[in-house]
Structures are given as structure tokens and as C-alpha cells.
Amino acid sequence: MIRIVIADDHTIMREGLKRILQEVDDIEVVGEAVDGFEVLATVRKAGFDLLLMDLSMPGRSGVDLIRQIKDEAPKLPILVLTMHEEEQYAVRAIRAGASGYLTKESAGTQLVTAIRKVASGRPFISLEVAEQLAIDAMPARHELPHKDLSDREFEVFNLLVSGKSITEIAVMLHLSVKTVSTHKTRILLKMDSNSLAELVQYAIAHGLLAPFRP
């Protein structure tokens, strides 16, 4: 039996996932978490085999949360199930310690397979992500500027181009406004951009804008 915890701040999503999984004989949902702090508390209690985790939740979230989970529970498999397309976060999530990456759009057909594969100790990633990981391991090459951003800078970048204000980002990421402003300045510098409008244009051109989330 594969015992899993579902971490997602949307009740409808959690209930939908539980309905899908309750029909599967070898998978049991034994817990839920609605934000990054609950995720960490649940991980510290242990008692389950796999964490099914959204990247975007209140409090601690994203790649930083994956990294902290792996620091505290290095053997716990993490399967990311998120609205973010692979181009945005997949490679960063895998590098941080996730064993698999699945978009919510494809969850209906691939979720059970992904859970079984990750629980068995094998990765679940697309050919495109595997290819990108291989490319990133090669010797120095020309990179797109957004790949030079740190994980936190990339998270702030995505929120900025999605229309969030510096104050909103500070609240979402539990950072000070000054820290977020510093991140924005560094992002503009690394991206060789003069304005937020240029960052948005870049994000559109490279398919980095997250889909709308109500």
C-alpha cells in the first residue's frame, strides 16, 4: 500500500484527487496539508510514503519548500502536481529533490502511474524535462537569461510578470518589501531589462507566464 499526503491549498483539488485515488487498491490518502507550514509539520510526523505537492501554496512554497523537505526527510519521494507548465519550474523542482513533475492538466490520465513510479524509487518526468536536465549538465553554453536567476529570483520573476505587486509578493513569500525590491532589481539586471514591461514581454515570448488562477 502506498500511503500519500496531498498538499494543495484548493479544497476542490484535494477532494478531486481523493476521489480519483479512492478507486485505486494500492494507494491510500492518509493526510492533507493546505500550506507550506502544514507540509513541514506533516513531514516531521512521518508515517507516509509519498508527498503529492502543489508548488503554489500560502506560506513556504515552491522550490525552496522542496529543498527544505529533502533536507529534513531525504528519503521521502516528492511528486509535484502543479498548474505551472514544465518550462517554468520542472527542472528546478527536480534539481531541488522532487522525484516527479506532473501538470494538473494531465493528472487525470497519468496521476496513478506517476504515483506508483515515484513511490517505487523511479523518476517521473517528461522526455522534454529529461532532455533539458541533460543539456544543463553539458559544458558551458549560451543560456537564456532567466536560467541564470536563482530559485527565489525565478519565483519573484514569475509573480511579477503575472501582475503581482511588490507588496503582494512580500506577503505571499513571507519576505520584506525591501527584500522583494532587491530581488526585482537583481532580476532586471540579470535579464538585461529596463522595466517590468520588458520582463513581461520576455515571459510571453518564452512561454513563462503561468496560466490564470482564480
Given the candidates 3.40.50.2300, 3.20.20.190, 3.30.420.40, 2.40.10.340, the CATH classification of the domain at 2-136 is 3.40.50.2300
| Fold agreement between 2-136 and 145-205 | no
Which pLDDT band, with edges at 50, 70 and 90, does 139 fall under? low
Query: Would you tell me how many other CB atoms lie within 10 Å of the CB of residue 176?
Result: 10
Give the pTM: 0.71
Residue 48: what are its φ and ψ, rounded to 5°?
-145, 170
Radius of gyration of the chain (CA): 17
Percent of the chain with pLDDT over 70: 92
Does residue 214 surpass a pLDDT of 50? no
Angle 194-197-201 (CA atoms, 0-180°, nearest 5)? 105
Q: Which CATH class is domain 145-205?
A: mainly alpha
Give dist(CA 100, CA 98) in Å, integer.
6
Which pLDDT band, with edges at 50, 70 and 90, does 210 fall under? low
Domain boundaries, the chain: 2-136, 145-205
11-70 residue pLDDT tens: 999 999 999 999 899 999 999 999 999 999 999 999 999 999 998 888 776 888 999 999
Give dist(CA 180, CA 84) in Å, integer.
21
Most confident range (mean pLDDT) of 4-8, 95-99, 161-165, 194-198 is 4-8
